[in-house]
Every structure is written in C-alpha cells, then in structure tokens.
Amino acid sequence: MNHLFTLRHLAFCLATSVYFLLSIPTASAQTTRSAVSLCDVVKNPERYDNEEITVAAQYDSDGVEREGLSDPTCKESGIALLMLHETKGRDQLRAALHGGYPGTLDKTVTGTFIGVFHWDPKGHPPGVMNVRSMQDFTVHRKSVPFAAPKQ
C-alpha cells in the first residue's frame, strides 16, 4: 500500500511539474517573421520591436567599433548591430572584410542577417539588432580616392 501511494504521488508530481514548465512563457517569446526589408523595419520600427527578423542588407563598419546595416534603396535607413558571443557567421564576415582598409571604406558588403530587433526611440542608437546569425555575404570592391594600405 505504501509503495502504491509513493508511485501515485510521484506520477502526480511529475505530471504537475511538466504542466507547470510548459505553461511558463520562455524568455525568447518573440514572434519570428520571414524576411522583411530593412526599409520597412526603419519606417515601422514599433511593428518589429522585440521580434526576430531576417533582412538582406548592406553591412557598414568603420573597422574599429561601429557596425550597422543599411539599404541604399531607402533614405535614412540604418540600424545598429550587436554581435553576440554565439553569433553564427562571424568568420564568414571577417573573411568578407579581409583586405584593403578596415571596415567597409573600400568595399561594399551585403548579406543576410537574422536576429532580434529592439526599438527604443530615446536610445542611442534607437534601433538595434541582436544578431543570431549572418550568411550569404557578397563583396564588391570600390575605388577610393587614396591608396590602399600595404598588406
């Protein structure tokens, strides 16, 4: 009798625990969207706040500390990037940036970026994407009015 009570009690506790764990909202309770244009994100940032988005965009960097995404087809487009330690595609981006000047001064780098967009109109910058992964990089060299550094 004692053994039967213990098994029933254990089963009840297990079922209750599973139900409880499944009912807890996860920390990453963002809505995942398919690919969206960076222009739409910049024009309607509240719509995408705290959502995972996929954007094909131009990567811009000063080569030191600032990096972001832009889209030359829409004026004033741009969001800052926050690369996480676990961001996938960092080596591919580093390879795309290799050669010439640091950053994108002498090159145009485009790719697909997936991450969670955060909007804070009082923030500096107001729009930031926490990048989970990056892929499909293309690089186009551009001429600059001064000589490239020696490698």
Is residue 19's pLDDT more than 90?
Answer: no
Domain residue limits at 134:
32-141
> 24 in a domain, yes or no?
no
**Could you give the CA distance from residue 83 to residue 90 in angstroms, rounded to a whole number?**
9
Strand intervals (E) in 36-122: 51-61, 67-70, 79-88, 107-119
Q: Supply the CATH number for residue 74's domain.
A: 2.40.50.140
Number of structural domains (the chain) is 1
> 99 in a domain, yes or no?
yes
Q: Burial, 27: exposed, middle or buried (Cβ in 10 Å; 0-12, 13-18, 19+)? A: exposed
Any residues with CB less than 8 A from the CB of 39 and at least 6 apart, and which? Answer: 71, 73, 74, 77
> 37 in a domain, yes or no?
yes
**83-137 tens-digit pLDDT:** 988 999 999 999 999 888 888 989 999 999 999 999 999 998 999 999 999 999 9
Region for 45 from its dihedrals, namely left if φ exceeds 0, alpha if ψ lies in -120 to 50, beta otherwise: alpha
> 49 in a domain, yes or no?
yes
Residue 70 is predicted with a pLDDT of 95
> 53 in a domain, yes or no?
yes
- Tokens 């926050």 locate to 82
**Could you give the CA distance from residue 122 to residue 108 in angstroms, rounded to a whole number?**
30
The tokens describing 15, both together, are 């079922």
> 21 in a domain, yes or no?
no
> 150 in a domain, yes or no?
no
> 16 in a domain, yes or no?
no
